[in-house]
Amino acid sequence: MQKELMQKFYEIFGNEGDIRSYFAPGRVNLIGEHTDYNGGHVFPCALTIGTFGIARKREDNKIRFYSANFSKLGVIETSLDDLVPSEKAGWTNYPKGVMWTFEKRGYKLTSGVDFLIWGNIPNGSGLSSSASLEVLTGVMLRDMFGFDEITMQDLALIGQYSENNFNGMNCGIMDQFASAMGKKDCAIFLDTSNLKFEYAPVKLPDAKIVITNSKVKHSLVGSAYNDRRNECETALKDLQKVTDIQTLGDLTEEEFEAHKDAIQDPVCRVRAKHAVYENQRTIKAVKALKENNIEEFGRLMNASHISLRDDYEVSCEEIDILVNLAWQIPGVLGSRITGGGFGGCTVSIVKNDAVDTFIDTIGKQYKEKVGHEAEFYVVEIGDGAGKLA
Ligand code: GLA
């Protein structure tokens, strides 16, 4: 792929100068959903699909973008003096936001760049195509401009900052962290209250991770995502009147039950319940995985889905159909919605010998019930972002 993209770069921008290639993966979250902005734990892993980038510094301060996914748009030109978000800038708002954040943090970009990208994460599928583009841009700028002191973790934070403040989506740290810090065959057990993390090997000799795309597009910007966040903040403020906590992640289930009546609004109460229980489920799930108890891991995934469906209300009809179908298939250890929600994908752990049945049965029945096809990806866990040789 890299070769073809390099050819494309030559075609669009010419072949002279120091041209470099980069990759940043998408992610799937195994468990720990909507906990990352509540000081809880998450358990995502990087995928082997993601976004590729080819770049070269320019002599002037122009920035020229080209996406091989949106070739009809042609070259989109802007400049370092125009790092402001706009609707018309479309996908380039993501790399522009990262450039803006670099400058804001004192990492002066001394020239513009030509930047070609191509990604193989289905758009709007909840597998973090935007976070991968942000981390990709960060890796590219760090390398091109020699900011060696910036760590991969900083790049995740820069990506999140740009998404929050340039693109108006109040996301947590999970997606950018997974894209930047991923490790082959491991999931990242991350405590979002202090960014301490541990790589947990995901050894599944008898099973596969299968992602099912409902092909219902979710748009998180301006959606209910930011509302959920506000509801959790309101719940936290109420709880802080009766107990000494910094985040919802500080509470066990028992502590939550003891104090929950302090939360005035019943909707905020169930949102907080999800955040607290989901965090505890994530801790338990990682323990189960370490003990090779995949069955328990799967049960916790199922419980996570029910909580996201009923208490957090971020599922949707199509996703519930996928999960219900999955739960009926022998050999499915666990299945749940993954990512921000309101469409997107499910993640399932499926015994090797049930994978074909899983894809056939769900494929057919989903089409019958919903009217359009689902897509299936049997995925591998890959490494985090970096420069390509
Ligand atoms: C989106 C956000 C993440 C996280 C998930 C839900 O993917 O970008 O920060 O909040 O939703 O777990």
Sign of CA dihedral 258, 261, 266, 267: negative
pLDDT value for 203: 87
pLDDT value for 283: 98
Q: Alpha-carbon distance 199 to 195, whole Å?
A: 13
Residues 6+ apart with CB under 8 A from 309: 315, 320, 337
pLDDT value for 221: 47
311-332: pLDDT as tens digits:
999 999 999 999 999 999 999 9
Nearest to 329, CA basis, from 351, 312, 309? 351
Ligand 1 atom having least distance to the Cα of 33: 12
Strand partners, 23: 52, 386
Q: What is the mean pLDDT of residues 93-97?
A: 98
Structural tokens at position 125: 């599928």
Residue with CA closest to ligand 1 atom 1: 340
pLDDT value for 222: 58
Active site residue 175: yes
Q: What percent of the chain clears pLDDT 70, i.e. is strictly above it?
A: 99
Ligand 1 atom having least distance to the Cα of 340: 11
Lowest-pLDDT range of 76-90, 217-231, 321-335: 217-231
Q: In the structure, which protein residues have their CB atom closer than 6 angstroms to any atom of ligand 1?
A: 29, 33-34, 36-37, 171-172, 174-175, 339-340
Arithmetic mean of pLDDT over the chain: 96
Q: Alpha-carbon distance 313 to 306, whole Å?
A: 9
Q: Alpha-carbon distance 302 to 32, whole Å?
A: 12
CA of 225 to the centre of ligand 1 (A): 8
pLDDT value for 124: 80
108-122: pLDDT as tens digits:
999 999 999 999 998
Q: What is the mean pLDDT of residues 90-104?
A: 98
More confident residue, 222 or 123: 123
pTM for this entry? 0.97
**Cβ–Cβ < 8 Å for 338, 126:** yes
241-277: pLDDT as tens digits:
999 999 999 999 999 999 999 999 999 999 999 999 9
Q: Alpha-carbon distance 130 to 379, whole Å?
A: 19
pLDDT value for 218: 64
**Cβ–Cβ < 8 Å for 210, 204:** no
Give ∠ CA 351-185-330 in degrees, rounded to 5: 10
Amino acid in position 351: K
pLDDT value for 220: 56
172-223: pLDDT as tens digits:
999 999 999 999 999 999 999 999 999 999 989 999 999 999 999 866 545 7
Ligand 1 atom having least distance to the Cα of 172: 9
pLDDT value for 223: 76
Containing H/E element for 197?
strand 196-201
135-182: pLDDT as tens digits:
999 999 999 999 999 999 999 999 999 999 999 889 999 999 999 999
Going by their DSSP bridges, the two strands 345-351 and 207-213 should be labelled as antiparallel
CA of 49 to the centre of ligand 1 (A): 18
